[in-house]
């Protein structure tokens, strides 16, 4: 074999080796991606998972530890606290997420659609940390949303579409909290309308009272929780993470510590 043929042979072997290397690497990378997609969503490097909520396996992993909202008020002998936050997200949401992460607690955030659209990063963080996202209408404008059943339903649907556009098309937690709550016969047509669309409305049976005004002393918020959970094993606690509720953030660690001392475990809703 002359020198020229030897060079051609060696070059061909090198090229074959390089091609084989990259083909093998591509297969390994794809397998690693599949394994990665199945990891828990609270992994700090899981932003990529957000893009794959379209994958039913990822969504099923995400909801497996969530509590069925339809079973919340059924007696099972357990003490469970469901921390819920309305009217966000806002810049305070990040502080609340940090507190929840410190205590390894999952909560439920009922988001306003137009705020969610403006704060996609916070919605993504809520999902990455394993929290649930519920629907709190698109504008939270009482005069508008309660003017007509169709208007209300459209606001709910619009918000759900915003959530899915951020999280993924398979995000199928269809929890709604009516602004102001769904209490009273007047809202029966509104409840019926969203139920027909497959949604479930979730009110509360305890609260910190931060809806009564801004900058309520944190001691008062803590006391309100203590008073409103009395005699209840399953407590759905209403709080707010909108920008005006700074003392809610300040009170939250003490509220959590009190609930722990009273023997409650914590769950997010689905």
φ and ψ of 232, to 5 deg:
-120, 130
Q: What is the C-alpha separation between 49 and 167, in angstroms, rounded? A: 9
**C-alpha closest to that of 206 among 51, 72, 55, 100:** 72
pLDDT in tens, 167-217: 988 898 999 999 999 999 999 999 999 999 999 999 999 999 999 999 999
**C-alpha closest to that of 241 among 126, 80, 95:** 95
Is the pLDDT confidence value at 102 over 70? Answer: yes
Q: What is the pLDDT of residue 46?
A: 40
The β-bridge partners of 135 are 111, 176
Q: What is the pLDDT of residue 38?
A: 38
Tell me the pTM.
Answer: 0.81
* Per-domain boundaries in the chain: 65-266
Q: What is the pLDDT of residue 5?
A: 53
pLDDT in tens, 80-100: 999 999 999 999 999 999 999
Q: Which CATH number fits domain 65-266: 1.10.10.10, 3.20.20.370, 3.50.50.60, 2.40.110.10?
A: 3.20.20.370
Is the pLDDT confidence value at 25 over 60? Answer: no
- Cis (ω within 30 of 0) for the bond into 13? no
Measured CA to CA in angstroms, residue 73 lies from 121, 204, 263 at distances of 33, 10, 18
The β-bridge partners of 234 are 80
Tell me if residue 237 falls in helix, strand or coil. strand
pLDDT in tens, 32-72: 433 333 334 444 434 434 545 656 667 888 888 999 999 99
């Amino acid at each position: 074999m002359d020198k020229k043929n030897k060079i051609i042979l060696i070059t061909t072997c090198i090229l074959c080796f390089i091609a084989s290397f990259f083909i093998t690497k591509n297969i390994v990378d794809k397998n690693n991606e599949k394994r990665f997609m199945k990891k828990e969503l609270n992994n700090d490097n899981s932003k990529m998972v957000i893009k794959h909520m379209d994958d039913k396996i990822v969504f099923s992993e995400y909801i497996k530890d969530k509590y069925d909202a339809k079973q919340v008020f059924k007696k099972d002998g357990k003490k469970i606290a469901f921390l819920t936050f309305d009217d966000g997200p806002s810049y305070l949401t990040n502080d609340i997420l940090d507190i929840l992460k410190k205590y390894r607690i999952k909560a439920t955030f009922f988001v306003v659609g137009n705020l969610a659209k403006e704060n996609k990063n916070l919605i993504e963080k809520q999902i990455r940390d394993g929290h649930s996202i519920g629907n709190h209408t698109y504008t939270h404008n009482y005069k508008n949303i309660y003017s007509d059943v169709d208007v209300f339903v459209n606001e709910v649907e619009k918000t759900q579409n915003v959530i899915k556009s951020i999280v993924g098309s398979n995000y199928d937690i269809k929890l709604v909290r009516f602004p102001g709550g769904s209490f009273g016969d007047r809202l029966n047509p509104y409840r019926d309308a969203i139920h027909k669309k497959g949604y479930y409305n979730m009110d509360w049976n305890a609260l910190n009272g931060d809806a009564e005004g801004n900058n309520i002393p944190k001691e008062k918020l803590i006391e309100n929780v203590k008073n409103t959970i009395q005699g209840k094993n399953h407590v759905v606690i209403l709080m707010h993470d909108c920008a005006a509720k700074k003392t809610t953030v300040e009170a939250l660690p003490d509220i959590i510590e009190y609930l722990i001392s009273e023997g409650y475990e914590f769950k997010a809703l689905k």
